[in-house]
């Protein structure tokens, strides 16, 4: 998604009077940067948490340590818990989360480089998406951030009357 796609997401959020927040691991704040690069972002973006370690995922976002131990940080259940946690923490209407392996090496559980889980937490529930992106570390992080905006836009488009 290009900058115009992020602008579209911002416009959709504004049109629906909704806010969002982000919990980021492998993207390291890229989602927050991309939205705050746009004028008017303060109307829709409540904030974000860069939860690069399991300790921050647990202590700040409230991800149960049992989930982290059982499934690992790079998993659908952890992505969902991250999104729910940042939504609760910021009081936003919607929240996205990203957790994955940007490389250059696989993680301690053997998850391959490029494996990324995203989640969207909304009033009607939380959905997760699995991606396997290709490219170097930068390309994977960029793709993951783009996918987060696409996930938001898809949800907002589904909400049209």
CATH of the domain at 138: 3.90.950.20
Read off φ and ψ for residue 160, nearest 5 degrees.
-60, 145
pLDDT in the model for residue 4? 55
Domain count, the chain: 1
Q: Say if residues 8 and 80 touch (Cβ distance below 8 Å).
A: no
Q: pLDDT under 70 in the chain at which residues?
A: 1-4, 161
pLDDT tens-digit series, residues 106-141: 999 999 999 999 999 999 999 999 999 999 999 999
User: Is 32 domain-assigned?
Assistant: yes
In a domain, 99, yes or no: yes
Residue 161 inside a domain? The answer is no
Within-domain flag for 114: yes
Phi, psi of 60 (to 5 degrees): -95, -45
What are the DSSP calls for 15-51, one per residue? HHT--EEEEESTTTTHHHHHHHTSTTGGGTEEEEEE-
The answer to whether position 111 is within a domain reads yes
- For residue 88, tell me if it sits in a domain: yes
Q: Tell me what pLDDT residue 160 has.
A: 72
SS3 117: strand
In-domain check, residue 64? yes
Domain extent, residue 56, equals 3-156
Residue 14 lies in a domain: yes
**DSSP, residue by residue, 61-86:** T---HHHHHHH-SSSHHHHHHHHHHH
| Whole-number pLDDT of residue 3 | 45
Contact by Cβ (8 Å): 9, 152: yes
């Amino acid at each position: 998604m290009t900058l115009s796609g992020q602008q579209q997401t911002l416009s959709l959020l504004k049109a629906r009077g909704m806010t969002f927040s982000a919990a980021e691991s492998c993207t390291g704040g890229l989602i927050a940067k991309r939205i705050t690069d746009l004028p008017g972002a303060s109307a829709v973006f409540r904030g974000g948490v860069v939860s690069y370690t399991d300790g921050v995922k647990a202590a700040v976002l409230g991800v149960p340590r049992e989930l982290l131990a059982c499934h690992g940080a790079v998993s659908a259940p952890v992505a969902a818990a991250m999104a729910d946690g940042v939504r609760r923490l910021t009081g936003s209407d919607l929240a996205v989360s990203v957790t994955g392996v940007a490389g250059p090496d696989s993680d301690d559980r053997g998850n391959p480089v490029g494996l990324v889980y995203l989640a969207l937490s909304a009033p009607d529930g939380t959905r997760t998406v699995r991606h396997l992106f290709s490219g170097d570390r930068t390309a994977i992080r960029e793709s993951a951030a783009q996918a987060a905006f696409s996930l938001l836009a898809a949800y907002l488009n589904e909400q049209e009357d």
